[in-house]
Amino acid sequence: MTFSYETLGRDAEAETWTASIASHSLKAAVAQGEPQSVLLTLLELTGRQDFADRWAMHITGPNPWDHTFSEADLQQLRSELTAVLLDRFSSNQALTPTEGETDVDGLIDLAQGTPLSKTYHRLAKKEMGLEPDTVGWTKKRPDRAEDVRVAIIGAGPSGITAAIRMQHLGLNFTLFDSAEDFGGTWLHNTYPGCGVDIASHYFSFSYAPNPDWSRYYAKQPEILDYLKKTAESAGLRRHTKFGTEVVAAKFDERDHAWHLTLHSEDGVVSNVSAEILITATGLLSAPRIPDFPGLADFRGLKFHAAQWDHSVDYAGKRVALIGTGASANQIGPTIAPEVDQLTVFQRSAQWNIGVANYLQSVSAGEKWLLANVPEYQRWFRLRTMLSQNDSLRSAAEVDPQWDADDDSISAANAQMREILTQYIKDELGDRQDLLPMALPDYPPFTKRMLRDNGWYRMMRRENVSVVAGRDISFTERGIIDDNGVEHSVDMAVFATGFDASRPLGTLQITGRDGCTIRDIWGDDDPRAHYGITVPGFPNLFVLYGPNTNIGTGGSIILQAETWSRYAAEAIVHMIEHEAAEIECRPEAMQKYNQAMDERLAGMIWSVSKGSTWYRNASGRVVTNMPWSTPEYWEMTQQVRLEDYELSDYNGNRMPTKQTTQIESS
Ligand SMILES: Cc1cc2nc3c(=O)[nH]c(=O)nc-3n(C[C@H](O)[C@H](O)[C@H](O)COP(=O)(O)OP(=O)(O)OC[C@H]3O[C@@H](n4cnc5c(N)ncnc54)[C@H](O)[C@@H]3O)c2cc1C
């Protein structure tokens, strides 16, 4: 099994059309295709300029299904593509790759509606599976690779993709997870309504596109199923030890290896060693419940949203939902129709954006196109990515020239606030009395922007009340809100988030000279080189590390592919140089962090007075990166050897060459 688009993503034979299909079925499928992706497919397959001249102006932006085609144009466009595809079918002709003949970069620009950078073209082609994203040996696989063991902690999306990369290199690797299966976040979070808020045709591995998503924004069971299938089809199960918590990892300079202490579910303690340690323990994996006064006295049922107790039937009960963030936004509207009374305890209102296809299913015809027309699948994925990545970034960047009385940070930010405010008013309809509780008192993008899952409509329900809950306390039977009113409840759901400022908080990591990661990061002040490597911790690669979360729209799956690519390349360098250790130089990390801090200072999370889990106790943003997705992707495409110290088996520093930089744009 190799890490490749062809083997994991689809049956290689899907590129060859050997089946036959009735013309009316094909016509029906094309009729359900997203118009702009249909056009891009047609242009790629035919290369005809007259089609571009006629229809390209209808691609005004990347949002799928957001088009300006007239009905007549649409019909014409669809019948042209149907004819081309039928021709291919009836002649039983292989669909040969067209990228050699077609101006793919030009079509990528067209997919966006405006020209994109060279970097974006490369990223787009990687996401479309047109350019390889593999890391391999530069020469013959060194014999020493046989002796290198890799331990990966965490079997969520990051651990899965890191394992696939290690497998591609033919390294001896083991995945550990305290849970019982693959999936990470998507295994642990099973609360009602749980799902993505980044569109599924992009929130999926670039090497494993899934034509079967039932919705544009899939729900948790389907995502979990997808992650498990990807891991299974890559053969990862036999390399994985589930039910195994890694409680400690200590680097020993004598044998240049990490020594892990494992706790199995049945209480057995064991040890393993590995030359390389990759942590993929997640950012949002340690549920956090604040220390509410009186909580121990509460006699009702209680659990965190990420630890949903499915033995409890919430139907007909009086339920307290504590929190209004991303999880609460999905839970509240889902359970409200079934509970007797839902009381939401709100610390602060959230900005919710309405997304047209958030709740929509994917039609059978479109699924067929995604499965059987590779060009369509690529263009739809690309447009989905472009619509999600940094789409509203300008509203999160501080404009130093902007001078306004309110707390907006730029014209775009102020305008966004107006649009979202109007959206909330519209959704509340004849219940404008709810506006004071629904309307946030801080500018949009201070916190994670939520996709509206029907929050305001939920607020309008008779059996729902949203109350001020910044300083709540518990009694035996209920919860007292900020106004001193006690609400009697049968169960309390804590949608109170995760310990996000404390990466690697689930185990003790000890590097060189007995120094632990907490010694240098403290409780909540983590820093790393590109968020991945840390001076003093040789042969350690942190995935979803400090300042690598996306705050302006994008997919953590793409990030996971990026972090693991960087780690794989560094490991290749280490092995090919016959080094025993690779360790980030402090000055490289410092330089990177300085540049990062400068950019962070211009992001809303650093300046907004509103509270956000992006910041630590002292106010520094420790979770989010300030870069756009293509910027970060570009800067981590190549491991610069001058950023690292390599040491031989005697502990001596080895000379390192300067890395020739790849062209940037
Ligand atoms: C409810 C929810 C919705 C989300 N929606 C989106 C979205 O729409 N789009 C998006 O981009 N991101 C989203 N995220 C972010 C999410 O964290 C990522 O999607 C992704 O799951 C991160 O993958 P990961 O593998 O890095 O970490 P995780 O998925 O968190 O996996 C970490 C794994 O490590 C294991 N682990 C941790 N410590 C140890 C240890 N010491 N020993 C053994 N095992 C350990 C855990 O059991 C877990 O399985 C969401 C997060 C949540 C909580």
Contact between residue 295 and residue 305 where contact means Cβ atoms under 8 Å apart:
no
- Identify whether residues 545 and 487 lie together within a single domain: no
Q: For 166-177, what is each residue's pLDDT tens digit?
A: 999 999 999 999
Domain count, the chain: 3
- Identify whether residues 334 and 211 lie together within a single domain: no
- Identify whether residues 101 and 231 lie together within a single domain: no
Taking the model in full, what pTM does it have? 0.94
Among 474, 493, 512, which residue terminates a domain?
493
- Identify whether residues 596 and 517 lie together within a single domain: yes
Query: At residue 587, what is the residue type?
Result: E
- Identify whether residues 617 and 643 lie together within a single domain: yes
pLDDT of residue 73: 95
Q: Which residue has a Cα nearest atom 44 of ligand 1?
A: 177
pLDDT of residue 472: 97
Q: Which domain holds residue 46?
A: 5-115+362-388
Q: Which residue has a Cα nearest atom 26 of ligand 1?
A: 282
Contact between residue 536 and residue 583 where contact means Cβ atoms under 8 Å apart:
yes
Contact between residue 592 and residue 476 where contact means Cβ atoms under 8 Å apart:
no
Among 441, 465, 493, which residue terminates a domain?
493
Q: In what order do the strands lie in the sheet with 486-488?
A: 473-474, 478-480, 486-488
Rounded distance between C-alpha atoms, residue 260 and residue 247, angstroms: 8
Rounded distance between C-alpha atoms, residue 230 and residue 443, angstroms: 39
pLDDT of residue 660: 58
Rounded distance between C-alpha atoms, residue 469 and residue 292, angstroms: 11
Give the DSSP letter string of 146-209.
Answer: GG-EEEEE--SHHHHHHHHHHHHTT-EEEEE-SSSSS-THHHH---TT-B-SS-TTTSS-TTS-
Q: How far is the CA of 197 from the centre of ligand 1 (A)?
A: 14
Ligand 1 atom closest to residue 176's alpha carbon, by position in its atom list: 43
Phi and psi at residue 189, to the nearest 5°: -90, 110
Ligand 1 atom closest to residue 189's alpha carbon, by position in its atom list: 1
Q: Compute the half-sphere exposure of residue 327: CA atoms within 13 Å on the CB side of its CA.
A: 24
- Whether 54 maps to a domain, the answer reads yes
Phi and psi at residue 538, to the nearest 5°: -60, 150
- Identify whether residues 85 and 105 lie together within a single domain: yes
- Identify whether residues 300 and 441 lie together within a single domain: yes
Rounded distance between C-alpha atoms, residue 144 and residue 579, angstroms: 10
pLDDT of residue 167: 97
Give the DSSP letter string of 526-572.
Answer: ---BTTTB-TT-TTEEETT-TT-B-SSS--HHHHHHHHHHHHHHHHH
Ligand 1 in reach of 281 Cβ (< 6 A): yes
Residues of the chain with pLDDT under 70: 1-24, 91-101, 657-665
Q: Which residue in this structure is represented by tokens 């590779």? A: 374
- Whether 122 maps to a domain, the answer reads no
- Identify whether residues 403 and 314 lie together within a single domain: yes
- Whether 47 maps to a domain, the answer reads yes
- As a dihedral over the C-alpha atoms of residue 447, residue 451, residue 454, residue 460, rounded to 10 degrees, the angle is 30
- Identify whether residues 186 and 307 lie together within a single domain: no
Q: What is the CATH number of the domain that holds 305?
A: 3.50.50.60
Ligand 1 in reach of 74 Cβ (< 6 A): no
- Whether 472 maps to a domain, the answer reads yes
Q: Which of 153, 181, 185, 544 to mutate to test the pocket of ligand 1 (most atoms within 8 A of CB)?
A: 185
Q: How far is the CA of 157 from the centre of ligand 1 (A)?
A: 7
Closest of 314, 318, 296, 297 to residue 305, by C-alpha: 314
- Whether 249 maps to a domain, the answer reads yes
- Whether 278 maps to a domain, the answer reads yes
* Residue 510 DSSP symbol: E
Closest of 161, 283, 282 to residue 566, by C-alpha: 161
Ligand 1 in reach of 279 Cβ (< 6 A): no
Ligand 1 in reach of 177 Cβ (< 6 A): yes
Q: How many residues does the chain have?
A: 665
Residues 399, 405, 408, 414: is their CA dihedral positive or negative? negative
- Identify whether residues 87 and 28 lie together within a single domain: yes
Q: Give me 142's structure tokens.
A: 């060194």
Ligand 1 in reach of 282 Cβ (< 6 A): yes
CA distances, 227 to each of 158, 220, 347 (Å): 11, 10, 34
- Identify whether residues 346 and 370 lie together within a single domain: no
Q: Which residue has a Cα nearest atom 19 of ligand 1?
A: 556
- Whether 641 maps to a domain, the answer reads yes
- Identify whether residues 631 and 573 lie together within a single domain: yes
Among 493, 518, 541, which residue terminates a domain?
493
- Whether 130 maps to a domain, the answer reads no
Q: Compute the half-sphere exposure of residue 294: CA atoms within 13 Å on the CB side of its CA.
A: 15
